[in-house]
Homo-oligomer: A and B are copies of this chain.
């Protein structure tokens, strides 16, 4: 199977009739994307490398899902409606046993969100998956990292830390029963981008970021962009029953600095609490309030009793020593 047959067989699909925002899909030098009247185009790109963003043991279908999911999560954090994506793929060899399920997992998530694959590139090389995703958001309504204000509540969607717990099991640092392991492994390998929640938070949230490098690190980016500080309650951070059964040290590692959560962290005025809860209920995603924004810089982490929690946690950094 050559390069062009590979593309034709697995990745060249006709644009769905009625697909929003796509004037020309795969097969020319460029695709043509057209946001609707009054909309801005939100753009994000993520590159996935074996051993860094996924393990060699991941099922190809889950990898296809995850590669798109992490990009849709960035669109969600901006409150954008996903439209389309491009896929650049470096593969050691043209391997059908990999490509068929990879494409299946990728397109299943794409169809669930109504997004079109509009272009790409395929090359031989060490396995590398680079997706660039496009969404649309009404002019001036994108959720940014820079809008948090003193007095705002801090919120997070879903549950944190399961992906990191799965990684610790793979590393041999923790042991779990088969059912528990499957639960946390699914969190690591099949994250669900919070697209509907992001859209529902337009006009409600003052700032937002998606959690990919661990809560403390990503919250640090949001605080720096907004030029504010925060106090957060580590015990209030939502976690699965599987994680809640582990040692407190492991729980804190996983919820505060786990990484790979792909939940939305956002701020909203205290006066909007019931509106935030109503929006979350409407889209069926749980949200949890776990802290507040301060005018003074710095992040203070406390427990349920208000005692300081050791604060050596930091976000994941690909080049940290």
Contacts and interface: CB of A to CB of B under 8 A. Distances in A.
B2 A125 contact: no
Interface in A129-181: 130, 132, 134-135, 137, 139, 142, 144-146
Nearest to A95: B319
A208 B29 CA distance: 9
B319 A124 contact: yes
A77 B30 contact: yes
Interface string A193-214: 0000000000000001110000
Interface stretch (A12-20, A31-39, A183-191, A282-290): A31-39
What range describes how many residues of A lie at the interface? Answer: 35 or more
As for how many copies of this chain the complex holds, the number is 2
A253 interface: no
B30 A145 contact: no
Contacts of A297: none
Interface string A83-108: 01011111101100000000000000
Contact of A74 (B29, B35, B84, B137): B29
A122 to B, nearest CB: 6
A312 B84 CA distance: 38
A122 B48 CA distance: 10
A118 B88 contact: no
Nearest to A315: B4
A53 B130 CA distance: 16
29 contacts: A2-B317, A2-B319, A2-B320, A28-B145, A28-B225, A29-B75, A29-B145, A29-B210, A30-B42, A30-B44, A30-B77, A32-B42, A32-B137, A34-B35, A35-B41, A44-B86, A44-B119, A45-B86, A45-B119, A45-B132, A46-B121, A47-B89, A47-B125, A49-B126, A52-B124, A88-B132, A124-B318, A124-B319, A130-B130
Q: Which 4 A-B pairs have the closest CB atoms?
A: A49-B125, A130-B130, A47-B88, A30-B42
Interface of A: 1-4, 6, 23-24, 27-35, 40-47, 49-53, 74-75, 77-78, 80, 84, 86-91, 93-94, 118-126, 128, 130, 132, 134-135, 137, 139, 142, 144-146, 208-210, 225, 317-320
